[in-house]
């Protein structure tokens, strides 16, 4: 699962400079409506002292130029707010935000800048560049893996090619490999995993256009080893039955 960037800023809450995240960013990353996040914050049953220290009322200007309410939230406020957010994706985002808070706090303690706000902004920019580089490395890795997967299919043949070589039809070949006794192929003419593990088949993701959108579907290819195995097992040593 790819995680996008998380930026922790440095702002004042009730007169105290803190590492904070905005309610807008929480809404965005956790897939919630900002208005509902605001309502949740306003309905939290917390001591007034804790609320003032960890939830700072602020505002932002939307695309229409209108001012809108938001909250700047400390790490403690964030932890309390998202405590009830559940699910695998929510858990991953909790970890991501907490890691960002911890990195910011550690860096500030080590640096002890004279101008904490300016340094915090520099740290955010540096961290953003680092995370962008990580994402690029991950994307490049996926491209290499895809290239390797395509390269590894160069010695493979399609069912059409194998059927033609064996002197039979593709549908007849499918039927033979799906036969109750053989059980080589399952629904969609995808081989069972044990035959992939034995090196008889490779399954790749094939891109195609579906209307005006890009889509992918699995495509099964037969390796050289698989062709020899099919010929011997299903069509005899001397050719087609």
Distance CA(31)–CA(23), nearest Å, equals 12
Crossing angle of helices 88-111 and 116-151, in 10° steps, is: 130
Q: What average pLDDT does the segment 94-121 reach? A: 66
Measure Cα distances from 192 to 184, 189, 218, 240 in Å. 6, 9, 13, 24
- 149 has pLDDT over 50: no
Phi, psi of 120 (to 5 degrees): -60, -40
Which pLDDT band, with edges at 50, 70 and 90, does 136 fall under? low
User: Which candidate, 170, 175, 231, 174, places its Cα nearest to that of 200?
Assistant: 231
What is the model's pTM? 0.41
Contact status, residue 149 vs residue 204, Cβ threshold 8 Å: yes
Report for 2-16, 22-36, 177-191: range of highest mean pLDDT? 22-36
213: its two tokens: 């959108």
What is the structure's pLDDT at 39? 92
């Amino acid at each position: 699962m790819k995680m996008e960037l998380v930026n922790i800023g440095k702002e004042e809450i009730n007169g105290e400079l803190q590492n904070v995240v905005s309610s807008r960013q929480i809404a965005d990353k956790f897939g919630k409506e900002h208005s509902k996040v605001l309502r949740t914050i306003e309905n939290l049953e917390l001591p007034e002292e804790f609320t003032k220290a960890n939830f700072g009322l602020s505002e932002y200007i939307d695309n229409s130029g209108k001012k809108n309410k938001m909250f700047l939230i400390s790490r403690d406020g964030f932890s309390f707010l998202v405590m009830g957010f559940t699910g695998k994706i929510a858990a991953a985002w909790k970890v991501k935000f907490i890691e960002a808070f911890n990195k910011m706090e550690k860096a500030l303690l080590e640096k002890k800048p004279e101008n904490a706000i300016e340094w915090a902004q520099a740290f955010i920019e540096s961290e953003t560049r680092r995370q962008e580089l990580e994402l690029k490395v991950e994307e490049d890795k996926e491209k290499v893996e895809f290239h390797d997967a395509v390269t590894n299919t160069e010695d493979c043949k399609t069912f059409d090619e194998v059927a033609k070589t064996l002197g039979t039809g593709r549908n007849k070949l499918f039927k033979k490999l799906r036969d109750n006794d053989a059980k080589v192929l399952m629904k969609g003419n995808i081989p069972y995993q044990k035959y992939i593990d034995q090196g008889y088949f490779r399954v790749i993701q094939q891109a195609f256009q579906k209307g005006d959108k890009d889509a992918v579907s699995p495509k099964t290819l037969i390796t050289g080893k698989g062709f020899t195995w099919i010929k011997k097992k299903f069509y005899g040593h001397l050719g087609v039955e």
